[in-house]
Amino acid sequence: MALIINGPVKSFCYRRLQYLSSKFQMHILLNEMKEMAAQKKVPHRDFYNIRKVDTHIHASSCMNQKHLLRFIKRAMKKYPGEIVHIERGRGQTLKDVFESMNLTALTSAWTLWTCTRINPAEIFIKTDNCVHGKYFGHIVKEVMADLEESKYQNSELRLSIYGRSRDEWDKLAEWAVNHKVYSENVRWLIQVPRLYDVYKIKNTLANFQEMLENIFLPLFEATINPRSHPELHLFLEHVVGFDSVDDESKPEHHIFNQESPLPGNWSDEDNPPYSYYLYYTYANMTVLNHLRRRRGLHTFVLRPHCGEAGPIHHLVSGFMLSENISHGLLLRKAPVLQYLYYLAQVGIAMSPLSNNSLFLSYHRNPLPEYLSRGLMVSLSTDDPLQFHFTKEPLMEEYSIAAQVWKLSSCDMCELARNSVLMSGFSHKVKSYWLGPSYTREGPESNDIRRTNVPDIRVAYRHETLSEELQLITHAVRTDELDGIDEEDTLTMGPLTGQR
Ligand SMILES: [Zn+2]
């Protein structure tokens, strides 16, 4: 926190980032033709048939509006008599619900969504409702079938665990197993909404510790004795990690420091701050991971929404605790953090179409800048139900980015390769998609026949990063950063430029 507001450090990092942008421009001037030629030499491989992963997408909105509307119409024909809603102890059928809404002929999906007393989302895109998530299961299966048909597109869908009660995991797992919502093209992430304050006010929870226990105890139990939660054990095979979600711009009334109460003593009605949620998720997940590793089970990673809006310090927590993050928009205003995310190659799943609707216009989105500097960025859709029109939302996302920012075919393939690297798909799958040496450094990690990324691009990224790391370690060794605490006494001259 002190570093990111330190004047000299800020200007140092700002200059390094500017340098990285200019250096990339130079690389393109010199090597664009070579990159293109290398790509053309690879037979049967182009942007369409390289693997790409939608690294950030919510399951409850993974379908587009047209798909959902058609699904609802089909459900009305097929199950008109099914009880889908209980009001004052009386069951209402699907037919009743739609008649009560004066919607005998559905024409537009969105008017339906906005004007009604009973939210159709409750019926169609929830896992835990009157029909036990049957419709949601079916529609997710349809999305999965589309992904499988497209073959090269994959998704990391988010499902919610709220931490309100101990049986949420078993119910969710039961839904997944009963409806066979499983696909080779899909992995799950569990999103935990930061809603402690809401449950506390309703008296559902006594303190924050209870929320943590509701989220983590079933996972410990299923790890220690899989037979105690058979469905959960199966479901967890396809879960790769945790996400933390909510509006980051909500005001925070506390700072997380040594004086903060432990979760068992957090019985305030106020919500704990972002960093508190992230830290305790990380801490519990880490203990769980040790246990899982010892038992030969796969481990989880933390991949929160971070830096979409709100205070910059969310990105500090994200940097320290996360495998990678979603959004990272605010790094554009924080040169020190942006440089750190670059040096550590922390992945950033970016969704410019979603940002465009909610927080930042498309033209001001920092993605092309991050990409040129060599940050580990990927493209993701976030919320196709709201933002996309076609059956292939991820391709739509890439296509718009390519047009607006004039991305080259090499840039696109680099983004796609990043998305696979960042994703939670297994080592075996990644080896198949990217080449068996993908974990090595530099061009030997790359197999252009699979990734369609020219070695020359991978080599450029590797050399550039190595130089920056060397610069930093050299600077530290020669104590040149020593005076940096005494603000403004040090000019950053000797550290920048050519050395
Ligand atoms: Zn999101």
H helix intervals, 6-133: 7-40, 65-78, 94-100, 109-114, 120-124
Measure 343 CA to ligand 1 centroid, in angstroms. 25
Residue tagged 């010892």 (tokens): 294
Which amino acid, 416?
A
Measure 151 CA to ligand 1 centroid, in angstroms. 24
Measure 220 CA to ligand 1 centroid, in angstroms. 27
- Positive or negative torsion for Cα 249, 254, 259, 264: negative
Of 340, 431, 423, which Cα lies nearest the Cα of 378? Answer: 423
Tell me, yes or no, if 327 is annotated catalytic.
yes
> How are beta strands 90-93 and 83-87 bridged, if at all?
antiparallel
Radius of gyration of the chain (CA): 24
What local confidence, expressed as pLDDT, does residue 155 receive?
Answer: 98
Tens digit of each residue's pLDDT (9 = 90 or more) over 197-206: 999 999 999 9
Contact present, 275 and 304 (Cβ < 8 Å): no
What local confidence, expressed as pLDDT, does residue 170 receive?
Answer: 97
With 90 as the cut, is the pLDDT of residue 183 above it?
yes
Q: What one-character-per-residue DSSP string does 204-271 give?
A: S-SSHHHHHHHHHHHHHHHHH-GGGSHHHHHHHTTEEEEEEES-TTS------STTSPPGGG---SSP
With 90 as the cut, is the pLDDT of residue 103 above it?
no
Measure 107 CA to ligand 1 centroid, in angstroms. 28
Q: What one-character-per-residue DSSP string does 51-68 give?
A: -EEEEEEEGGG-S-HHHH
What's the mean pLDDT in 307-326? Answer: 97
Give the whole-angstrom CA distance, residue 18 versus residue 11.
10
With 80 as the cut, is the pLDDT of residue 476 above it?
no
Give the whole-angstrom CA distance, residue 301 versus residue 407.
31
Contact present, 236 and 219 (Cβ < 8 Å): yes
**Superfamily of the domain at 2-62+132-483:** Metal-dependent hydrolases (3.20.20.140)
Grade residue 486 by pLDDT with cuts at 50, 70 and 90: very low
With 60 as the cut, is the pLDDT of residue 66 above it?
yes
Q: 10 Å Cβ neighbour count for 361?
A: 10
H helix intervals, 326-436: 335-343, 352-358, 367-373, 384-387, 393-405, 409-422, 427-434
Grade residue 490 by pLDDT with cuts at 50, 70 and 90: very low
Measure 349 CA to ligand 1 centroid, in angstroms. 10
- Separation in Å, CA 316 to CA 3, 4, 399, 491: 11, 9, 32, 25
Long-range contacts of 330-333 (CB under 8 A, 24+ apart): 331/307, 331/366, 331/370, 331/375, 332/366, 332/369
Measure 306 CA to ligand 1 centroid, in angstroms. 10
What local confidence, expressed as pLDDT, does residue 95 receive?
Answer: 83
What's the mean pLDDT in 380-403? Answer: 96
What whole-number percentage of the chain has pLDDT above 70? 91
Measure 236 CA to ligand 1 centroid, in angstroms. 21
Measure 285 CA to ligand 1 centroid, in angstroms. 21
Query: How far does Cα 257 stand from its chain's mean position?
Result: 27
Lowest mean pLDDT among 68-82, 261-275, 362-376, 461-475: 68-82
The residue from 233, 313, 327, 388 that is catalytic is 327
What local confidence, expressed as pLDDT, does residue 117 receive?
Answer: 55
With 50 as the cut, is the pLDDT of residue 61 above it?
yes
Residues 6+ positions from 378 with CB-CB distance below 8 Å: 53, 55, 347, 348, 349, 350, 415, 416, 418, 419, 422
Grade residue 492 by pLDDT with cuts at 50, 70 and 90: very low
What's the mean pLDDT in 151-177? Answer: 97
Grade residue 113 by pLDDT with cuts at 50, 70 and 90: low
> How are beta strands 305-306 and 347-350 bridged, if at all?
unpaired
With 70 as the cut, is the pLDDT of residue 450 above it?
yes
What's the mean pLDDT in 212-239? Answer: 98
With 60 as the cut, is the pLDDT of residue 9 above it?
yes
With 50 as the cut, is the pLDDT of residue 499 above it?
no
Measure 355 CA to ligand 1 centroid, in angstroms. 10
H helix intervals, 88-133: 94-100, 109-114, 120-124
- Separation in Å, CA 413 to CA 111, 365, 371, 377, 382: 38, 20, 12, 12, 20
The domain spans of the chain are 2-62+132-483
Grade residue 123 by pLDDT with cuts at 50, 70 and 90: confident
Measure 383 CA to ligand 1 centroid, in angstroms. 7
Measure 115 CA to ligand 1 centroid, in angstroms. 24
Residue tagged 């004007």 (tokens): 115
Lowest mean pLDDT among 303-317, 336-350, 398-412, 473-487: 473-487
Measure 466 CA to ligand 1 centroid, in angstroms. 32
Longest dimension (CA), the chain: 77
What local confidence, expressed as pLDDT, does residue 498 receive?
Answer: 34
- Written as six digits, the tokens of 426 are 């297994």
Q: Exposed (0-12), middle (13-18) or buried (19+): which is 435, by Cβ within 10 Å? A: middle
- Separation in Å, CA 453 to CA 178, 444, 463: 41, 12, 16
What local confidence, expressed as pLDDT, does residue 40 receive?
Answer: 95
Which amino acid, 309?
A
Give the whole-angstrom CA distance, residue 157 versus residue 58.
5
Measure 227 CA to ligand 1 centroid, in angstroms. 33
Measure 458 CA to ligand 1 centroid, in angstroms. 29
With 90 as the cut, is the pLDDT of residue 418 above it?
yes
Give the whole-angstrom CA distance, residue 35 versus residue 7.
39
Q: What's the mean per-residue pLDDT of the chain?
A: 91
What local confidence, expressed as pLDDT, does residue 102 receive?
Answer: 61
Tens digit of each residue's pLDDT (9 = 90 or more) over 274-297: 999 999 999 999 999 999 999 999
